[in-house]
Amino acid sequence: MTLDGTIIATGKATKTATQLVTTTLLAPYMKYNDIYTGENVVETGGTYSIILSAGEIGRDTFTHYQNAAIKAQNAGNNNTSEAVLGAGLAAVGYAYISQSTDSNILTANLGDFNTNRHFSVGIAGYNGSTYVDFPLQIHLSSAKHSLLLIILQALRSAVPFVKVL
């Protein structure tokens, strides 16, 4: 396993066709269910980028990795190098998250509710073709208008002396 060109871990060769990649995320700010675990089944021999995205993601992160891949390619790095393929896979993963975030926001606006993405964890991979798999995507939604607020506003308009704090 390499990170930014540095080998950080080595493993033993396996004869199985697939491997299970388990990611666990601790979100200490959440009151309940603060440990999240996701599983990805990947084919051995492929190239993978493990993606962690916290909060709302726009196109900036995607563009960063896209530009990094182009820069590495222009510098003469091989297309299968971590600098090119790794950054390219990261760009694919963050493009997916960006589109997923935009889709959630569009749906929330159409449905008149709020949505907030907390995090996404998954894999963008290449093993003959490119794919994404994000088993952990946590976002919460809530009504833009609470029932209590609607009732208080209705009372206020019906009875002028009711004061809403």
pLDDT tens for the chain, 165 residues long, are: 777 667 888 877 778 899 899 998 887 766 666 888 899 999 888 899 999 998 888 788 999 999 999 999 999 999 999 899 999 999 999 999 999 888 888 888 888 888 888 889 999 999 999 999 999 888 888 877 766 656 666 665 554 444 444
Tokens 């563009």 found at: 63
Instruction: For residues 116 and 138, give the distance between their C-alpha atoms in angstroms, rounded to a whole number.
Output: 9
- pLDDT for position 1: 73
- pLDDT for position 165: 46
Strands 130-143 and 113-126: antiparallel
- pLDDT for position 89: 96
pTM: 0.77
Q: 52 by DSSP, 3-state: which?
A: strand
- pLDDT for position 95: 94
CB atoms within 10 A of CB 72: 20
- pLDDT for position 132: 94
- pLDDT for position 84: 95
- pLDDT for position 163: 46
Beta bridge partners of 24: 37
- pLDDT for position 164: 44
Q: How far, in Å, are 49, 128, 147, 148, 153 from residue 160 at the CA level?
A: 60, 69, 20, 18, 11
Q: How far, in Å, are 14, 31, 75, 126, 141 from residue 55 at the CA level?
A: 36, 17, 32, 26, 14
- Pull the structure tokens for residue 103: 């889709």
CB atoms within 10 A of CB 61: 18
> Where in the chain are the domains?
2-158
- pLDDT for position 152: 61
Q: How far, in Å, are 4, 44, 61, 80, 101 from residue 73 at the CA level?
A: 15, 25, 19, 10, 29
